[in-house]
Chains A and B, each alone.
Chain A
Amino acid sequence: MTDAEKKAKNAKKSAISVFFEEVSRSSLIVPILAILSGLLLGGILVGLSSESVYSVWSQSPFLAISNGFKAAWESYVTLVTGALGSPSRIIAAIQGGDGLEIRRAFNPIFESLVRSIPYIFGGLAVSLGFRSGLFNIGVEGQIFMGGIFSVWVGYSFTGLPALIHIPFAFVAGALGGALWGFIPGLLKAKTGGHEVINTIMMNYVAFRLTDWLLREPMRREGSTNPLSPIIEESAMLPQFFDEPIRFHFGFFIALAVAALVYWFLFKTKWGFDLRTVGANPHAARYAGMNIVRSTIVAMSLSGALAGMAGANELLGVNHHLSQSFSPGYGFDSIALALLGRNHPLGVVLAALLFGTLRNGATRMQAAAGIPIDIISVMQAIILAFIAAPAIVRTIFRLKEPRKAEAEIHVRGWGGS
């Protein structure tokens, strides 16, 4: 077919169908449809697990089903208002003019942003690894190491000005994470020990190290609970509003770091090295790149980003170390990086989504009694759809992606 014929053929199609064709081939559509499918299946699960369905089933199955829909709908309404705030409450608060009430009304959306920050760092950590051909499962452990280092700097140095103390503690956290990434990176580069196995093991070491530190050396004086001392005020990331809004400066650090990661990966020769090693290690070696060095560097940087997630949580929100300050941010980050297609911008968007869902789910649990685990299930479904785009393409009858969109992010999944 000549170009002229093609054009003629395209012109015959309606603009809408051409648009749909373009959209269905673009790389955004699968993540979006995966999210929608996740929400849909999650809703069905909520309906199925709702008591009001079974209590009326024997009287009227029809009523039972409609109860199921009602339950799902209500829980999603709670989820959304819990995550973004309720418009009526916001209006009422503004009309009332009471400062605290206004802050309370706007709090959900800020809280969603607060919950997104560790996801941004964690997602960047995983995607930097993926881009370099490494599957960093150790983000969770690296977050704990980042937390330990930053908290220690945060409470044991006194009398520093905030302008020095905050960066000091933050960088210490990054270094802690980097150390925990460096070790499996070194093992991979020098001995071929697989980073998936070693990062999982390093997670356990980090968890148990945290337990031990909180029992003895780092335990808060006079406390019987495993909690560290509270950090100096000079090490706390500044917050912008009064109680209860916890929104803090970490959000802007996270955005800046995302931009920096983008610049590093796509605009510098170092990033070119890492990406080439990730995309085709054989060609990278042929082209004279140092695979050993780039593996170690990539794992260390990935760990540093994860460490920042820990530092951010403790310097910005918790202000002390505890055994459970991360509800699995590191593991969620793996899913999130995939959802964001391992691109810093995608990661930021996916992190905002995950933070919003997590925050909404907390409120949903409190208000509607829907277990928070439903969000984990939803995330799992979304991830399954992302990891197997063929499913989404089949369900929604999408065309194959253009060949150029080679699935870079699936390399590293146990591959060589």
Chain B
Amino acid sequence: MAPILELEGITKRFPGVLANDNIRFSLEEGEIHGLLGENGAGKTTLMNILYGLYHPDEGKIRIRGQSVRIASSGDAIRAGIGMVHQHFMLIPVFTVTENVMLGDEPTGFAGILDRESTAKRIREISSTYGLEVDPGAHVSTLPVGVQQRVEIIKLLYREANILIFDEPTSVLTPQEADQLFRIMRSLAESGKSIIFITHKLREVLDVCDRITVIRQGRAIGTTTPQKADNRKLASMMVGREVVLEVKKSKAKPSALTLRVENLKVLSDRNTLAVNGLSFDLRGGEILGIAGVQGNGQTELVEALTGLRHPVEGRIELLGADVTRGTPRQITELGTAHIPEDRQRDGLVLSYPVADNLVLNTYYIQPFTERVVLQPDAILRYSEGLIDAFDIRTPSSLVDVGNLSGGNQQKVIVARELSRPIKLLIAAQPTRGLDVGSIEYIHSRLVEKRDQGVAVLLVSTELDEIMQLSDRIAVMYRGQIVDVVAIEEASKERIGLLMAGVLSEGQKA
């Protein structure tokens, strides 16, 4: 029998880039097929072609042996292809039912919406595939994991047979991710075919039947979890041997650098995002802040860097009270900040690399003499950093928006780490980066620690936290529920803490 989906010789060119180069890919009925590759490898382009958002320059798409033309997402939906996007396409103020019916609303007499029939279908789908959800609930009140289920239900409601999951675990706790994998398996068992896009090795090995690795627009090879392991997949992805473990010696904590006491910070919606949080951080150690996204980490970092003023509590940096300090004061005291949203906060995309490399030092000598900028000094400095940090750019005058994600992050890392610093706050420093860049940034963080810098690492990637931290503080609903030394930490223990489950003897 022909595979349910075949891609043959798909080629897609963008100006100056060959995004997909003669890619061959097949999906069997009832199979979970992992599509593994670094960011920018061409996974998303390939899936956008399949979903009708791009048109391939060459190549064929066949469904059950029949050649098809997919010119729009409408065609894709009619062909039974559905996609769970990385960023959910849900309207928060609508109910689950309304979200599911959106775009294809069943109507009764005089165009009145027929919510009940949709709700009934949702309940059927829920019970068939184990996707528990209340059709009447407003989406904004649902946890992220459940919102994702709504996305899946949307596809099943439209009777999609080929489901594409685009980096679905990036917003989930480890427990929620496991739950998602169970759902994916039950979907596959009932005959749905799944393409699972990810850059996380562990996940493909856990859940997939087959794995195809994409590198630089080319399908490098297809394998199975039985025949592959972490190391092999990583080297297929990157094209060379990769050091997956960060080598680091035991930390030698020195003087107290940062002290946070009973900190309370409001979110944009005026809720207490950080609710009475305290910790100490010493030079020469990495404190990892673990937690599911949206538990106050963003607000905590903003408060520490002066971008948001706390309503209560105290922040002491090297003995100075910086509770209500400005970003510039805090920077000048020796703080480096790798921001969570690098394109929003960390870079001016329409500025050249050189200007971005002096974004927070442009006003001091030698970059400014009196009030006049010194382009020569700025250029000379940035050329040096481009070399030292191996930033891949045609020149230091190219706009930073034209660089790849990994190189954009290197610009920030170069800027922040090349100053004399005492404290490094790294928020999601490797989010969305390729294995090579992750490796590089990790080793730089450890290097800074060994030089005696206090490092605060905020990450939702548990693997990253476990690899780098000397101590792990787990954040849940604006509080640190526990601080665990790395020797005593296990993935299970941290994962439970991230979900707000306290260890024995801690229950209040």
User: Which A residues are within 8 Å of any B CB, using their own CB?
Assistant: 1, 267-270, 272, 276, 279-280, 282-290, 400, 403-404, 406, 408
Q: Is the CB of B328 within 8 A of A406?
A: no
The reply on B183 being an interface residue by CB < 8 A is no
A123: shortest Cβ distance to chain B, in Å?
Answer: 21
- Complex-state Cα separation, A150 to B346, whole angstroms: 44
Residue from A269, A270, A279, A403 within 8 A of B348 (CB atoms): A279
Kindly supply a per-residue 1/0 record for chain B positions 340-359, scoring 1 wherever the CB is within 8 Å of any chain A CB and 0 otherwise. Answer: 01001111111100010001
Q: Is the CB of B398 within 8 A of A404?
A: yes
The reply on B55 being an interface residue by CB < 8 A is no
Residues of chain A within 8 A of B362, CB atoms compared? 269, 272
Q: Is the CB of A406 within 8 A of B359?
A: no
Residues of chain B within 8 A of A270, CB atoms compared? 371
The reply on B199 being an interface residue by CB < 8 A is no
Q: Is the CB of B359 within 8 A of A276?
A: yes
Q: CB-nearest residue of chain A relative to B339?
A: A286
B319: shortest Cβ distance to chain A, in Å?
Answer: 21
The reply on B26 being an interface residue by CB < 8 A is no
Q: CB-nearest residue of chain A relative to B367?
A: A269
The reply on B331 being an interface residue by CB < 8 A is yes
The reply on B298 being an interface residue by CB < 8 A is no
The reply on B360 being an interface residue by CB < 8 A is yes
Q: CB-nearest residue of chain B relative to A403?
A: B402
Q: Is the CB of A269 within 8 A of B371?
A: yes
- Complex-state Cα separation, A404 to B395, whole angstroms: 13
The reply on B282 being an interface residue by CB < 8 A is no
Task: Identify the interface centre among B15, B331, B359, B360: most chain A CB within 10 Å of its CB.
Answer: B359
Q: Is the CB of B360 within 8 A of A269?
A: no
Q: Is the CB of B373 within 8 A of A268?
A: yes
- Complex-state Cα separation, A286 to B328, whole angstroms: 8
Pairs of residues from A and B, 7 with the lowest C-beta to C-beta distance, nearest first: A288-B328, A287-B360, A406-B350, A404-B399, A286-B345, A288-B327, A287-B359
Q: Is the CB of A288 within 8 A of B360?
A: yes
Q: Could you tell me which residues of chain B, from 275 to 316, have a CB within 8 Å of some CB in chain A?
A: 305, 307
Knowing A267-B373, A269-B371, A403-B401, say if A283 contacts B347 (CB, 8 Å).
yes
- Complex-state Cα separation, A147 to B279, whole angstroms: 60
Residues of chain A within 8 A of B348, CB atoms compared? 276, 279-280, 283-284
Residues of chain A within 8 A of B337, CB atoms compared? 286
Q: Could you tell me which residues of chain B, from 360 to 408, have a CB within 8 Å of some CB in chain A?
A: 360, 362-363, 368, 371-373, 398-399, 401-402
The reply on B485 being an interface residue by CB < 8 A is no
- Complex-state Cα separation, A406 to B401, whole angstroms: 9
The reply on B326 being an interface residue by CB < 8 A is yes
Residues of chain B within 8 A of A285, CB atoms compared? 307, 327, 345
The reply on B137 being an interface residue by CB < 8 A is no
Knowing A267-B373, A270-B371, A288-B328, say if A279 contacts B351 (CB, 8 Å).
yes
Residue from B345, B350, B363 within 8 A of A269 (CB atoms): B363
Residues of chain A within 8 A of B347, CB atoms compared? 280, 283
B side interface size, CB within 8 A: 33
Residues of chain B within 8 A of A408, CB atoms compared? 350
- Complex-state Cα separation, A286 to B326, whole angstroms: 10
The reply on B18 being an interface residue by CB < 8 A is yes
Residue from B349, B372, B373 within 8 A of A406 (CB atoms): B349
Q: Is the CB of A269 within 8 A of B326?
A: no
A393: shortest Cβ distance to chain B, in Å?
Answer: 14
B55: shortest Cβ distance to chain A, in Å?
Answer: 16
Knowing A1-B18, A279-B351, A280-B349, say if A287 contacts B327 (CB, 8 Å).
yes
Residues of chain A within 8 A of B344, CB atoms compared? 280, 282-283
Q: Is the CB of B373 within 8 A of A404?
A: no
25 A-B contact pairs sorted by A residue (CB < 8 Å): A267-B372, A268-B371, A268-B372, A269-B362, A269-B363, A276-B348, A276-B351, A276-B359, A279-B348, A282-B341, A283-B344, A284-B348, A285-B307, A286-B327, A286-B337, A287-B327, A287-B359, A288-B326, A288-B327, A288-B360, A289-B328, A290-B328, A403-B399, A406-B350, A406-B401
Residues of chain B within 8 A of A290, CB atoms compared? 326, 328
Q: Is the CB of A404 within 8 A of B402?
A: yes
- Complex-state Cα separation, A181 to B223, whole angstroms: 66
Q: Is the CB of B401 within 8 A of A404?
A: yes
Residues of chain B within 8 A of A280, CB atoms compared? 344, 347-350
B67: shortest Cβ distance to chain A, in Å?
Answer: 28
Q: Is the CB of B373 within 8 A of A272?
A: yes
Q: Is the CB of A282 within 8 A of B371?
A: no
- Complex-state Cα separation, A268 to B370, whole angstroms: 9
Residues of chain B within 8 A of A272, CB atoms compared? 355, 362-363, 373
Q: Is the CB of A406 within 8 A of B399?
A: yes
- Complex-state Cα separation, A403 to B399, whole angstroms: 9
B364: shortest Cβ distance to chain A, in Å?
Answer: 9
- Complex-state Cα separation, A266 to B345, whole angstroms: 22
B324: shortest Cβ distance to chain A, in Å?
Answer: 15
- Complex-state Cα separation, A139 to B462, whole angstroms: 54
B467: shortest Cβ distance to chain A, in Å?
Answer: 27
B135: shortest Cβ distance to chain A, in Å?
Answer: 35
B145: shortest Cβ distance to chain A, in Å?
Answer: 29
- Complex-state Cα separation, A270 to B371, whole angstroms: 7
B82: shortest Cβ distance to chain A, in Å?
Answer: 30
4 other A-B residue contacts (CB within 8 Å) besides A279-B351, A286-B337: A267-B373, A276-B348, A280-B347, A288-B326
B360: shortest Cβ distance to chain A, in Å?
Answer: 4
- Complex-state Cα separation, A276 to B305, whole angstroms: 19
- Complex-state Cα separation, A276 to B373, whole angstroms: 14
- Complex-state Cα separation, A276 to B355, whole angstroms: 10
- Complex-state Cα separation, A268 to B305, whole angstroms: 26
A150: shortest Cβ distance to chain B, in Å?
Answer: 28
Residues of chain A within 8 A of B328, CB atoms compared? 288-290
- Complex-state Cα separation, A265 to B341, whole angstroms: 27
Task: Identify the interface centre among A280, A284, A287, A288: most chain B CB within 10 Å of its CB.
Answer: A287
- Complex-state Cα separation, A318 to B3, whole angstroms: 82
Q: CB-nearest residue of chain A relative to B368?
A: A269
Q: Is the CB of A283 within 8 A of B371?
A: no
Residues of chain B within 8 A of A289, CB atoms compared? 328
Knowing A267-B372, A276-B359, say if A286 contacts B401 (CB, 8 Å).
no
Residues of chain A within 8 A of B363, CB atoms compared? 269, 272
Residues of chain A within 8 A of B351, CB atoms compared? 276, 279
Q: Is the CB of B307 within 8 A of A286?
A: yes
B374: shortest Cβ distance to chain A, in Å?
Answer: 10
Q: CB-nearest residue of chain B relative to A411?
A: B350
A259: shortest Cβ distance to chain B, in Å?
Answer: 15
Q: Is the CB of A288 within 8 A of B331?
A: yes
B56: shortest Cβ distance to chain A, in Å?
Answer: 18
Q: Is the CB of B350 within 8 A of A283?
A: no
B218: shortest Cβ distance to chain A, in Å?
Answer: 14
- Complex-state Cα separation, A366 to B360, whole angstroms: 58
- Complex-state Cα separation, A352 to B398, whole angstroms: 32
A290: shortest Cβ distance to chain B, in Å?
Answer: 8
- Complex-state Cα separation, A408 to B349, whole angstroms: 11
- Complex-state Cα separation, A276 to B363, whole angstroms: 13
B156: shortest Cβ distance to chain A, in Å?
Answer: 37
B178: shortest Cβ distance to chain A, in Å?
Answer: 35
- Complex-state Cα separation, A272 to B352, whole angstroms: 13
Residue from B331, B345, B355 within 8 A of A282 (CB atoms): B345
Q: CB-nearest residue of chain B relative to A406?
A: B350
- Complex-state Cα separation, A203 to B372, whole angstroms: 35
- Complex-state Cα separation, A400 to B15, whole angstroms: 10
Q: CB-nearest residue of chain A relative to B328?
A: A288
Q: Is the CB of A283 within 8 A of B399?
A: no
- Complex-state Cα separation, A185 to B410, whole angstroms: 36
Q: CB-nearest residue of chain A relative to B415?
A: A287
Task: Identify the interface centre among A284, A288, A400, A408: most chain B CB within 10 Å of its CB.
Answer: A288
B170: shortest Cβ distance to chain A, in Å?
Answer: 22
A280: shortest Cβ distance to chain B, in Å?
Answer: 5
